[in-house]
Amino acid sequence: MIHLRIVAPEPEAHKALEILHGSPAVLNVVHLHAAARKPDGDLILCDVAREEASVILGDLKELEIPRVGSIAVEHIETSLSDAAVAAEKAAPGLPSDAVVWEEVEQHTSENTELSISFIAFMVLAMQIGAVGILLDQPILIVGAMVVGPEFGPLAGLSVALVQRRGDLARRSLAALGVGFPAGIVLACLATLIFKGIGASPDDFVPSDHEFTNFISNPDFFSFFVAFVAGTVGILSLTNAKSGALVGVLISVTTIPAASNIGVAAAYGDWTEASGAAGQLAINLTSIVLAGVITLFVQRRYYVTRRVKHLGDPSRAAAGLPVGRSAHRSRDS
Phi and psi of 182, rounded to 5°? -60, -45
pLDDT by residue (tens digit) across 4-56? Answer: 999 999 999 999 999 999 999 999 999 999 999 999 999 999 999 998 999 99
pLDDT of residue 55: 92
pLDDT of residue 15: 94
Last residue in a domain, options 55, 83, 98:
98
The secondary structure of residue 113, as a DSSP letter, is -
8 found inside a domain: yes
pLDDT of residue 332: 52
253 found inside a domain: yes
Q: How many domains does the chain have?
A: 2
Domain co-membership, 89 together with 207: no
323 found inside a domain: no
Domain co-membership, 172 together with 258: yes
Domain co-membership, 84 together with 164: no
Q: What angle do CA 254, 257, 260 make, to 5 degrees?
A: 150
329 found inside a domain: no
Domain co-membership, 209 together with 235: yes
Domain co-membership, 153 together with 280: yes
For the chain, report the end-to-end CA distance as a whole number of angstroms: 25
Domain co-membership, 238 together with 120: yes
Domain co-membership, 60 together with 188: no
Domain co-membership, 52 together with 123: no
Q: Which range marks the domain in which residue 220 is found?
A: 105-303
Domain co-membership, 198 together with 131: yes
Three-class secondary structure of residue 5 per DSSP: strand
Q: What angle do CA 195, 198, 204 make, to 5 degrees?
A: 50
Last residue in a domain, options 98, 117, 149:
98
Phi and psi of 12, rounded to 5°? -70, -35
Tens of each residue's pLDDT in the chain, 332 residues: 999 999 999 999 999 999 999 999 999 999 999 999 999 999 999 999 998 999 999 999 999 999 999 999 998 888 889 999 999 898 887 777 788 888 888 888 777 888 999 999 999 999 999 999 999 898 999 999 989 999 999 999 999 999 889 999 999 999 999 999 999 999 999 999 999 998 887 777 766 777 788 888 899 999 999 999 899 888 888 876 555 555 566 667 899 999 999 999 999 999 999 999 999 999 999 999 999 999 999 998 888 888 888 888 888 888 888 888 776 545 55
Q: Kindly report whether the peptide bond that precedes residue 138 is cis, defined as omega within 30 degrees of 0.
A: no
Last residue in a domain, options 98, 127, 159:
98
pTM of the model: 0.85
pLDDT of residue 171: 93
b or e along 168-200 (b: 16 or more beta carbons within 10 Å of the residue's beta carbon)? bbebbbebbeebbebbbebbbebbbebbeeeeb
322 found inside a domain: no
Domain co-membership, 153 together with 287: yes
Phi and psi of 319, rounded to 5°? 85, 15
Domain co-membership, 36 together with 184: no
C-alpha span between 221 and 283 (Å, rounded): 10
Rg (CA), the chain: 24
Domain co-membership, 261 together with 287: yes
The enclosing domain of 45 has a CATH number of: 3.30.70.240
